């Protein structure tokens, strides 16, 4: 794996919603981290040889029969352990302490009292630091060898430690932003207690990944479905850096790309990066298959099928290929793996090439599967990709086909392309693009009466949407400045022939979704 040449901290996942966040916080310290199911054996951990282990939180109660437990031999490995919330409780229970379910539980913000400033874990934080609590069970007797280092009015064991064995536990969540000095605690554990070297960065990742790709591929050839999105673009450039013309990229134009996007992809990857790029303009095929279709899921399935058929046809023209490259990210890998250690499932089909004929027998090459999205963007910068691509907003695999509400036609797509282009341009001009998670325009299947140039018009309606989010699981509508909306709406109605009315969508997620379809 790309982190093999670096010190590592592993996170044991007990089903916590914050496990990925813990791993990201460790990486922010410049140290490689990876998430494993809590069922990982002590022998496997010994083989991995991490500098430290973090037990995540989790929804279970340690008092429930069959609740998650790590291999008890982990405590004999001599490796520092930090238990967070459930991780603290399960460590206490397994080492001879006791956990109960008190009447008063703690949820939300709380201030801890640091009662032992000599502790390595808490030595750099203030005496009454604000933290985020979220627990029902609590430790009511700590194991032999442990001491209390922090309390709250209702939690006498908010933080404990056994410095001789280098075991530490906190009842709160230092990984979330609400714990204002949580990053300091994690840094103290990772760098001071575990003595991990802070040498994990995108420069070192590139070196490791190039070596790994070359070793895996040898003299064989790799096929990559290039979409022009962040993930596939970064994966393609990284693989090309490693093996050059052994990589062949197929770029399928489904006719539902943004304005001038096909030309930009061909220019950047074909000419600037000098890649072996095969271009297939399948616009007519996609639009023919979508004729008369209005139901959202049916549209997505048709677009997916035509894409696979087109990609398969183009792949056959590439000759002998042994590997299929995909831009799979670490969250995809984690989400496809159950906390109990079940096998990985197929990666999301709308992000990657799925449903290809079995006779192709390609091996998967997933050079980004160790990275989070923000790290992929940093990697893109390291590889020389332009900011406009690296920091672009999420864009759906089916493209404007799912933003052209109702029937998808060339005329409606051209109208939507112009609307979308103006909206994004005005957001960029206002310096707002990087403050927004995702901005998009939809063309609605309704028409309205308007007056343009002293004439009565009857044209389509578009809606603009912009949201803020951390991970797209939830999203809030962006409070767009009125002057930006006014300029965008004015330009759309004046410059786009098919539209005479502009709406702004102020629906959050939930109850709505970010995309309309």
* Per-chain mean pLDDT for the chain: 90
Give the contacts of 423 (CB within 8 A, at least 6 positions apart): 439, 440, 441, 464, 488, 492
pLDDT for the residue numbered 473: 75
CA distance 146 to 161: 5
CA distance 420 to 440: 7
140-144: long-range contacts at Cβ-Cβ below 8 A with a sequence spacing of 24 or more? 140/98, 140/99, 140/100, 140/102, 141/92, 141/97, 141/98, 142/92, 142/97, 143/92, 143/95, 143/96, 143/97, 144/95, 144/96
* Residue found under tokens 């995108």: 202
Q: Which two tokens stand for residue 300?
A: 């997505």
pLDDT in tens, 418-457: 999 999 999 999 999 999 999 999 999 999 998 877 678 8
- Which stretches of the chain drop beneath a pLDDT of 50? 1-2, 338-353
pLDDT for the residue numbered 350: 37
| The 3-state secondary structure of 79-128, one letter per residue | CCEEEECHHHHHHHHHCCCEEECCCCCEEEEEECEECCCCCCCCCCCCCC
DSSP element (H, E) containing 19: helix 19-28
- Angle formed at CA 449 by CA 448 and CA 455, multiple of 5 degrees: 145
Q: Which two tokens stand for residue 210?
A: 């190039």
pLDDT for the residue numbered 117: 80
Closest alpha carbon to 362 in 370, 353, 371: 353
Catalogue the active-site residues: 85, 173, 175
pLDDT for the residue numbered 336: 56
pLDDT for the residue numbered 330: 80
Whole-Å CA distances, 186 to 81, 123, 165, 432:
12, 12, 18, 32
């Amino acid at each position: 794996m790309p982190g093999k040449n670096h010190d590592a901290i592993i996170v044991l996942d007990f089903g916590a919603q914050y496990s990925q966040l813990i791993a990201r916080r460790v990486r922010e310290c410049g140290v490689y981290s990876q998430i494993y199911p809590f069922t990982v054996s002590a022998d496997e951990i010994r083989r991995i040889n991490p500098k430290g282990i973090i037990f995540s939180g989790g929804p279970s109660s340690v008092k429930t029969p069959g609740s998650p437990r790590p291999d008890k031999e982990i405590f004999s490995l001599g490796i520092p352990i930090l238990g967070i919330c459930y991780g603290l409780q399960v460590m206490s229970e397994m080492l001879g302490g006791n956990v109960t379910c008190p009447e008063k539980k703690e949820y939300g913000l709380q201030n801890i009292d640091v009662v032992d400033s000599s502790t390595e874990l808490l030595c750099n934080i203030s005496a009454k630091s604000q933290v985020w609590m979220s627990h029902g069970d609590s430790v009511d007797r700590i194991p032999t060898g442990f001491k209390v280092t922090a309390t709250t009015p209702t939690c006498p064991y908010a933080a404990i430690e056994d410095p001789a064995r280098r075991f530490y536990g906190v009842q709160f969540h230092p990984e979330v932003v609400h714990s204002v000095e949580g990053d300091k605690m994690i840094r103290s554990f990772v760098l001071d207690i575990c003595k991990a070297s802070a040498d994990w960065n995108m420069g070192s990742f590139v070196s490791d990944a190039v070596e790994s790709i070359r070793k895996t591929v040898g003299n064989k050839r790799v096929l990559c479905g290039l979409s022009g999105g962040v993930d596939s673009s970064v994966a393609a450039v990284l693989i090309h850096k490693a093996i050059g013309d052994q990589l062949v990229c197929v770029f399928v134009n489904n006719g539902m790309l943004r304005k001038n996007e096909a030309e930009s992809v061909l220019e950047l990857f074909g000419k600037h990066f000098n890649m072996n790029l095969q271009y297939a303009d399948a616009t007519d095929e996609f639009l023919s298959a979508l004729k008369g279709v209005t139901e959202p899921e049916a549209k997505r399935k048709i677009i997916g099928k035509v894409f696979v058929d087109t990609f398969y046809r183009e792949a056959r023209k590439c000759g002998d290929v042994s590997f299929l490259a995909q831009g799979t990210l670490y969250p995809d890998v984690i989400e496809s793996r159950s906390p109990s250690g079940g096998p990985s499932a197929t990666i999301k089909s709308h992000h990657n090439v799925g449903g290809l004929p079995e006779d192709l027998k390609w091996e998967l090459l997933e050079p980004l599967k160790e990275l989070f999205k923000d790290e992929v963007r940093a990697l893109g910068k390291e590889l020389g990709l332009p900011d406009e691509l690296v920091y672009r907003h999420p864009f759906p695999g089916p493209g404007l086909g799912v933003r052209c509400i109702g029937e998808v036609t060339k005329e409606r797509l051209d109208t939507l392309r112009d609307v979308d282009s103006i909206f994004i341009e005005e957001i960029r001009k206002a310096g707002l693009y990087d403050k927004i998670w995702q901005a998009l325009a939809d063309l609605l299947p309704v028409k309205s009466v308007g007056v343009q140039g002293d004439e009565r018009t009857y044209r389509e309606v578009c809606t603009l949407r912009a949201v803020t989010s951390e991970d797209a699981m939830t999203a809030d509508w962006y409070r767009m400045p009125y002057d930006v909306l006014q300029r965008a709406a004015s330009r759309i109605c004046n410059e786009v022939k098919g539209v005479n009315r502009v709406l702004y969508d102020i629906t959050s997620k939930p109850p709505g979704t970010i995309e309309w379809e």
